[in-house]
Amino acid sequence: MTTPDSRVIIVGGGVFGLSTALWLARAGYKDVTIFDRCAFEQNFYSPSRGCDGASADINKIFRATYGAQSHSQDLALEARDIWLDWNEAIKNTPVSELPKPLSPEDELLTLCGVYHMADGPKMIDRYVENLRVMEDTAPSFRDLQFIKNSARDEQRAKALGTEWGKKYHLFDQFRGGRTNGFLDAGSGITLADKACVYARHLCEKAGVKFILGRPHGELENLIIDKSGAEKRVTGIQTRDGRRHSADLVVVACGPWTSSVIPEAHQSVEATMGTVMFIDVPEDRQDLRKRFHPDNFPVWRFIEGEGEDAYEGGGFPITKEGRLKFGFRARKFTNFQDHPKEKNLRISTPRTKYSPNSIDTVPLYGLQLMKRVIGGLFPELTDIGFTDSRLCWYTDSIDNEFVIDYVPGYSDSLFICSGGSGHGFKFLPILGKYVKNQLERVPDRFTPIWKWRGVEQGKKCNGLEEGEAGPREMSKLKLAKPLDFKFPIKSSL
């Protein structure tokens, strides 16, 4: 039984690890230590400084619309309140007392809005359901959502503020106006890297210990005692050869989770989304103003089904002038030999910082992104894409988290993973409910987050495909430098 006197090791210092540690420490747990191979106290979770976990990013979307998944909607709304509290706390903290590189001007959550769009004049079923559930369960939040091409909602948006009236009409001409969707003024963006820096700062203030960087913070092995009737994990060994004892080991390694827990390969899988960037030059202040969060929301667009489907979006510009765009309709895999388990192949992240590094993206996704982004923002095509990233997520069989004791280890090994591309927004609150699962206190999330795996003959979010599936990277054509350029505009 896990109690505040238990020695807890958390492997992984991203969203799941940080939130869990924070809520445990604030609840009186006296011995909580996070290990991670990244030296976050030096690189500040920056994806340009050696960090390649999904949590290490310049920004992430915050949304609360989840349709029938009301548990996720409620969790997002609960998290939203804390995000805004964090904003206020940072604003009122002297710069000398904030962790680098935060300043009192930083907003970890900016409510710039999210524009949900889809192809065609008729509202797609997903959006209809999102709005219906919000109306039934959180009507005050629904009041902040405005349906596209609705005269009534146009007036409601304008009444909220001049900027919302302008944002409401931003995409009127895209696809000749034949798009549907809604503007959500209650949502926006989080500063992902700075949010993780702040959460780590709060963890340290609450008493959490951190062992970071190679080799002392990098996991080599779980220490497993097989002498009893059921094996137990008694700690971890790091790459420097040191052994660290614990009563409980929590594995929060994101897309590397199955590399640590072989049994998890039927529960979670590393999948890759395509991320592209456009760096707007300083002398293009017109574009920097246009795409500023005050004037521009996050946008998402859905189009088609099957091979040519598009599901992706983009973000307002950062202070540094960077625009980020993402595509995730097809989530790619990269199967390799398991590092510890013989005769097992698992999808494994391959990034700019991997031993077998990669500095490009699949051509398939890039071509779709060029078509959609070029249609939306022709003024950006002269600049073109200036950078890319493979962002590796951790998909579960149903896009729900996997937060439970791993069977067969006498309650000594715990999995905390399965973000499935939508976990970051829950950073401030997730650990509250992880703690319940650790202490075996049932709540509404217990049956949803329980340990589970692929079922024979069922579609399981692609995990049933394995290496033979169409998403495997070895079967893909990768983009070359010339592919990053947009087509040259005709002068005719």
Report the predicted TM-score, pTM, of the whole model to 2 decimal places: 0.96
Question: What is the DSSP track for 463-483?
Answer: TTTGGGSTTBGGGSPBPPGGG
Give the integer Cα–Cα distance in Å for 223 and 238: 10
Band the pLDDT of 35: cuts 50, 70, 90.
very high
Give the integer Cα–Cα distance in Å for 258 and 357: 20
Q: What percent of the chain stands above pLDDT 90?
A: 94
Give the integer Cα–Cα distance in Å for 143 and 164: 13
pLDDT of 490? 45
Q: What is the pLDDT of residues 444-491, one digit of tens each?
A: 999 999 999 999 889 999 999 999 999 999 999 999 999 999 987 644
Q: Which helix (H) or strand (E) holds 131?
A: helix 125-137
| SS3 category, 167 | helix
Extract the tokens encoding 240: 């420097």
Band the pLDDT of 306: cuts 50, 70, 90.
confident
Residue 492 reports pLDDT greater than 70: no
Residue 130 reports pLDDT greater than 50: yes
Give the integer Cα–Cα distance in Å for 170 and 431: 37
